Amino acid sequence: MFVMKISAIQMNTGSEKAANLAQARDLSAQAVLRDRPDMLVLPEVFAFMGSSVEDKRAAAEELPEVGETGAEAYETLRAIARDHSVFVHGGSFVERDGDAFFNTTVAFDRTGAELARYRKIHLFDVTTPDGRDYRESDTFGAGRDVVTYDADGTTIGCSICYDLRFAELYRALAEAGADVIMVPAAFTLQTGKDHWEVLLRARAIETQTYVVAAAQTGTYFEGNDERASWGHSMIVNPWGHMIAQAGEGTGHASAEIDRDYISIVRARIPVAQHRVL
């Protein structure tokens, strides 16, 4: 039996980058001390959230060549991995690539070596039921690549937040061999209270994978507008059961990933063999 313990870190990120990075380090250390995970997963835009488009872009980082030294958020993730000897799925932060900007995940192994990069494919351009406009495309360009990577023989699939609503991406990740699909997120309070758990459980059932969702929680400011994130980070197993959940405050949720159980679920209902479209 192969078991990997994963902790989903729940943060309340704001527009002070140094404070956000300190929060990520502190919450990661707490999770390691309490639960001894093999992997930590941070939320979407863990390094900087809110403020203006200009401020978000000013907080962006160019990704280094693999093996070279990066900027603050990148090196914070590497240090967490190296200092605690854990895999780190780095949520996401703002990446600058020339004149373009992306909402990007970077993952690291236990030594701090980079494993993967993923740019968010689906951008959140939505007006929520409370009348607030979210225009992610004002800040970011869209990624194109479906990304997986290996962590101790477990295949990890990459997604970010709004990607969750697009089942075709998750099917592509499953077909690429994903055992676990990561969903670092900053789900709004308005959408999260109705859709968050339903979507996470649906994606887990459809793909017969574990789904690990590390979320933003609490309030932040977009200009002068106070906004709220839903929180409730959770881990869902391939049968669709929620096996760990955080509340509304900062903290973490931890659970064990059992690759043998994935095989049991896929044998019980062999949807991959029955698919005709």
CA 234 vs CA 69, 107, 218, 228: distances in Å: 32, 19, 16, 18
44 belongs to the catalytic site? yes
Q: Which of 95, 114, 158, 161 is catalytic?
A: 161
The DSSP annotation for 167-235 comes to: HHHHHHHHHTT-SEEE--B--BHHHIIIIIHHHHHHHHHHHTSEEEE-BBEEEEEETTEEEEEE---EE
**How many other CB atoms are found less than 10 A from the CB of residue 138?**
12
Q: Which of 17, 95, 120, 158 is catalytic?
A: 120
161 belongs to the catalytic site? yes
**SS3 assignment, position 271:** helix
- Reference 154, options 238, 70, 268; nearest CA is 238
Q: Which of 17, 44, 61, 95 is catalytic?
A: 44
Query: Whole-angstrom Cα distance, residue 96 to residue 109?
Result: 23
Which residues does 219 contact at the CB level (< 8 Å), separation at least 6? 12, 226, 227, 228, 229
Q: What's 141's DSSP letter?
A: B
- What are 143's two structure tokens? 């990624």
Contact 149, 177 (CB under 8 A): no
- What are 159's two structure tokens? 């997604």
Query: Whole-angstrom Cα distance, residue 234 to residue 247?
Result: 9
- What are 121's two structure tokens? 């494919």
Residues carrying an active site annotation: 44, 120, 161
